[in-house]
Amino acid sequence: MTIIIFGPPGAGKGTQAALIKEHYNIPHLSTGEIFRAAIKNETALGKKVTSILDAGELVPDETVVALVEEELKKEDYDDGYILDGFPRTVPQAQSYDTILQKKGRGLDAFLLLEVPEEELVNRILSRGEGRSDDTPAKVKNRLEVYWNETLPVLNHYKKYGLVNKIDGTGSIEDIFDRIKKVL
Ligand code: ADP
């Protein structure tokens, strides 16, 4: 099963992706987590993206696409996976179409987690993960980047009739139940 989990910062993508990973026994590929690990380990990639993540801006498309393409070559992903944080721009979505074509496989589900904006901000500011991009000004910027650059990705998948809207409010378990119904 190949799944994309999509939604604004604070919508709960990482939390739900972890539950999907466990329940369906498929790996979770989070581009944000890969970048944060690279920064922590001070790799070349980490050095390149530190200031970008810190500002809540987007890593250049070619960097992200090359990373995802390389990662998906690993055997672990042969039987499916859940993508979280990618694709985040229309060019990334187009590149991902090409990657899937090359692999001769399709997408099974696109889950859109819907949460009201005020709640997104509250969740991020109260989650206390210590992320340098979780400050009020940076959260505001990340949301703006989402509305401007990431939201158009939805139309790309709507064309394929693949978008499943999930109410992202309520308890973690309730949200996961809604996801299981769709999957
Ligand atoms: P959130 O959804 O809460 O913003 P993520 O962990 O998905 O958190 O992303 C954190 C940061 O990593 C983003 O603000 C961005 O700087 C970078 N990033 C992650 N995925 C991508 C991507 N596909 N394209 C560009 N930048 C990305």
* Residue 55, pLDDT score: 95
Tokens of 136: 């009020």
How far apart, in whole angstroms, are the C-alpha atoms of residue 86 and residue 58? 11
Question: Is pLDDT of 103 > 90?
Answer: no
The pLDDT tens digits for 21-64 are 999 999 999 999 999 999 999 999 999 999 999 999 999 999 99
Q: How far is the CA of 183 from the centre of ligand 1 (A)?
A: 25
Residues paired with 114 in a beta bridge: 167
Percent of the chain with pLDDT over 90: 94
| Mean pLDDT of all residues in 139-157 | 97
Query: 30, 39, 53, 113: which to mutate for ligand 1, most atoms within 8 A of CB?
Result: 53
- β-bridge pairing 81-84 and 28-30: parallel
Q: Does 156 contact ligand 1 (Cβ within 6 A)?
A: no
Question: Is pLDDT of 105 > 90?
Answer: no
Query: 31, 67, 150: which to mutate for ligand 1, most atoms within 8 A of CB?
Result: 31
Q: What is the pTM of this model?
A: 0.96
Q: How far is the CA of 31 from the centre of ligand 1 (A)?
A: 6
Looking at this protein, which amino acid is placed at residue 66? A
* Residue 60, pLDDT score: 98
Q: How far is the CA of 26 from the centre of ligand 1 (A)?
A: 21
Backbone angles phi, psi at 124, to 5 degrees: -65, -45
Cβ count near 124 (within 10 Å) = 23
Catalytic residues: 13, 88, 127, 131, 142
**Minimum CA distance residue for ligand 1 atom 18:** 32
